[in-house]
Amino acid sequence: NDRVSPSALARRVFDALLPHDCLLCGALASSDAVCAECRDELPRLAAERCPVCALPSPGSQTCGLCLRAPPRFDATLALYAYEFPVDRMIQALKYQARLPLARFFGEQLAALAAPAADCLMPMPLHPLRLRERGFNQAVEIARPLARSWRLAIDARSARRAADTAPQADLALEARRRNVRGAFTCDIDLEGSHALVVDDVMTSGATLDELARVLKDRGAARVTNCVVARTLRE
How much is the pLDDT for 181?
A: 82
Amino acid identity of residue 115, one-letter, is: P
How much is the pLDDT for 182?
A: 85
C-alpha 104/C-alpha 196 separation (Å) is 18
Kindly give the confidence (pLDDT) of every residue in the chain, 233 residues in length, as a single tens digit, with 9 standing for 90 and above.
455 555 555 555 555 555 568 889 988 766 678 999 999 999 999 999 999 999 999 999 999 999 999 999 999 999 999 999 999 999 999 999 999 999 999 999 999 999 999 999 999 999 998 999 999 999 999 999 999 999 999 999 999 987 765 656 656 666 667 678 889 999 999 999 999 999 999 999 999 999 999 999 999 999 999 999 999 74
C-alpha 213/C-alpha 155 separation (Å) is 15
The pTM of the full predicted model, rounded to 2 decimals, is 0.86
C-alpha 38/C-alpha 15 separation (Å) is 19
How much is the pLDDT for 92?
A: 95
Amino acid identity of residue 131, one-letter, is: R
List, as one string, the DSSP characters of 105-119: HHHHHHTSPPP--SE
